[in-house]
Amino acid sequence: MISASKLIKASYYAGKDFFRPPLIEVTRSSAVAVMVPIRSLGPSHSEKIVRHLLSLSLADRYLRFGYAASDEQIERYVTGLNFDRDEIFGIYNRRLELIAVAHLAFAVEPDFTSCAEFGVSVLGHARGRGYGARLFDRAVMHARNEGVHMMFIHALSENTNMLNIARAAGAKVERDGSESDAHLRLPPADLDSRMTEMVEEGLAQTDYKLKVQAHHFWSFLRMMQEVRSGMRDARDRTSS
C-alpha cells in the first residue's frame, strides 16, 4: 500500500503527462508501479463498463466469469450491478478507455456480512503492468475500511494470474478440480488505511477530470485542424 505522501508526490509528476497528445502511448512500468489512479465507478460509468467487458475475448470472458459469457449475459451482469452495496473500481487511460475493472461484492447473507468477493478483468493490450494486483490492493484497503474480515476469490484453476495475485497477498488457495478458492484474512482498518484510501480516491477523481479536459482539448484541436484543412482545400479548388 502506497502512503499518502508518496501518492501526492506521484500525482505531481503524473500530471505532467495529462495534456500530451493521446495518440502517443508511452509505457513506463516503473511509473505504473508508483502511481495508478484507481477510481470508484458509479451508475454513470455503466456504459463504459459494458464496453470494457464486451472488449474481452471469449477466452478472457471465460476466465473472468467462469463461462464464455455472451454479449447479452454481460449486459445483464452490468445491469444487475448494485452500486449502492458493492464497490466497482476502474482504471482509465488517457483516451478515457476503461482498461481494467474490479468488482468487490459484499456478502448479503446475515451470517457473512464481514466477507467480500473480488473479481477483476484487464484488457489484453494493458496486461503486464500490474493493474490486476493494484486493483486487488485497492479493493483490500476498501474492504478493511468497511469492516470486512475475509476476502474471497473464486476462480478457474487455469486462471493463474488471478490466483498468483491472491497468493502474493498471502491468501490461502485451495484447488477443487477445475476451480479454485482463495481466502485472505484482512487486518482491521487503521488511520493509515483510511487516510490512504481518501487520498487515493481524491487523486483518482482529479486524474479523471484532467483526462476528460485533455480529451476535450485534443478533440477540439483535431476539429479545428480539419476545418482549416477543409478551408485550404476549398481555396485551392477555387484558385485552380
Degrees (nearest 5) of the Cα angle 2, 191, 81? Answer: 70
Task: Order the strands of the 39-41 sheet from edge to edge.
Answer: 39-41, 87-92, 98-106, 115-122, 150-156, 179-185, 172-176
- In 10 A of CB 126, how many CB atoms? 16
Q: Give the least confident one: 6-20, 121-135, 207-221.
A: 6-20
pTM of the model: 0.74
Pairing of strands 115-122, 150-156: parallel
pLDDT of residue 204: 82
Q: 4-239 is classed in which CATH architecture?
A: 3-Layer(aba) Sandwich (3.40)
pLDDT of residue 30: 41
Is 99 a residue whose pLDDT tops 90? Answer: yes
Is 157 a residue whose pLDDT tops 60? Answer: yes
pLDDT of residue 203: 87
pLDDT of residue 111: 72
Cα gap 221→227, rounded to integer Å: 10
- Average pLDDT of every residue of the chain: 82
With beta carbons less than 8 A apart as the criterion, state whether 131 and 122 touch: yes
pLDDT tens, residue by residue, 196-229:
999 898 888 888 788 777 766 556 566 666 656 6
pLDDT of residue 213: 75
Mean pLDDT of 174-200: 93
